């Protein structure tokens, strides 16, 4: 094969790769437009967890009940924003200040203790992506995050996040979490309960098994002290 012919093949392959990437972004965009008005019935994380649970415990499944934004306690909304993304109202999807602070903290600790992801970024990952860590996945997460921020308002972002976040082994969303941990509804969660649920979010399966964790109690107490200072939609 001549160099000229090989070059043409390489250009064609490059164009096909670019076209595939663009088509994938349009696919994500289509779902994001739909989810602006239609509540997602499941996410990529839910699909993965359902398969895992059913393989381990045939006949079991995940617990998930969608509830309207107004049916979720304002205390839980404040606690989650305080714990996960204090500048949620202010940023446009990515909090670069939080990322920089996380990098500095991780450098001091000499281990990746913090990630700096916003609620919008976590939602993008939960809806469409896998939990694997790679630059490609992170790049796609950023693209989806900016799509969501461009097309949804902050209220819708928080509503969907609170309804799809993982809160335990097979437990998804605020309503299922309230019933699983407190035999209550998401609308009736108080400040202390909300603070504990918010702290569970980074490691939901661990805290589902370790509800008496001293760190969970200390962190929840800290969130409780300043959660009323954050702004929510």
Domain boundaries, the chain: 1-38, 41-229
pLDDT in tens, 94-119: 877 766 665 566 555 555 444 568 99
pLDDT in tens, 134-149: 888 889 999 999 999 9
Output the pLDDT for position 15: 78
Out of 2.40.240.20, 2.40.50.140, 1.20.1640.10, 1.10.3810.10, select the CATH number for domain 41-229.
Answer: 1.10.3810.10
pLDDT higher for 100 or 79?
A: 79
Output the pLDDT for position 113: 47
Q: 3-class secondary structure for the chain?
A: CCHHHHHHHHHHHHHHHHHHHHHHHHHHHHHHHHHCCCCCCCCHHHHHHHHHHHHHCCCCCCEECCCCHHHCCHHHHHHHHHHHCCCCCCCCCCCHHHHHHHHHHHHHHCCCCCCCCCHHHHHHHHHHCCCCCCHHHHHHHHHHHHHHHHHCCHHHHHHHHHHHCEEECCEECHHHHHHHHHCCCHHHCCHHHHHHHHHHCCCHHHHHHCCCCHHHHHHHHHHHHHHHHCCCC
Q: How confident is the model at residue 62 (pLDDT cuts 50, 70, 90)?
A: very high
Q: For residue 187, is pLDDT > 50?
A: yes
């Amino acid at each position: 094969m001549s160099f000229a012919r090989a070059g043409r093949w390489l250009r064609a392959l490059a164009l096909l790769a670019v076209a595939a990437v663009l088509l994938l972004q349009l696919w994500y965009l289509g779902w994001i437009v739909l989810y602006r008005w239609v509540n997602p019935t499941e996410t990529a994380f839910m699909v993965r967890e359902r398969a895992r649970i059913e393989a381990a415990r045939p006949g079991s499944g995940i617990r998930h009940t969608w509830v309207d934004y107004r049916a979720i306690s304002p205390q839980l909304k404040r606690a989650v924003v305080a714990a996960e993304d204090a500048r949620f109202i202010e940023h446009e999807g990515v909090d670069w200040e939080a990322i920089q602070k996380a990098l500095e903290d991780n450098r001091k600790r000499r281990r990746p203790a913090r990630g700096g992801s916003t609620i919008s970024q976590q939602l993008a990952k939960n809806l469409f992506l896998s939990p694997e860590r790679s630059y490609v996945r992170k790049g796609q997460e950023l693209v989806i995050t900016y799509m969501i921020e461009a097309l949804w308002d902050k209220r819708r972002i928080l509503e969907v996040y609170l309804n799809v976040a993982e809160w335990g082994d097979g437990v998804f969303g605020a309503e299922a979490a309230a019933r699983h941990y407190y035999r209550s509804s998401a609308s009736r969660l108080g400040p202390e309960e909300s603070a504990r649920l918010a702290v569970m979010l980074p490691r939901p399966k661990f805290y589902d098994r370790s509800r008496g964790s001293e760190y969970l109690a200390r962190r929840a107490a800290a969130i409780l002290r300043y959660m009323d200072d954050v702004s929510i939609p």
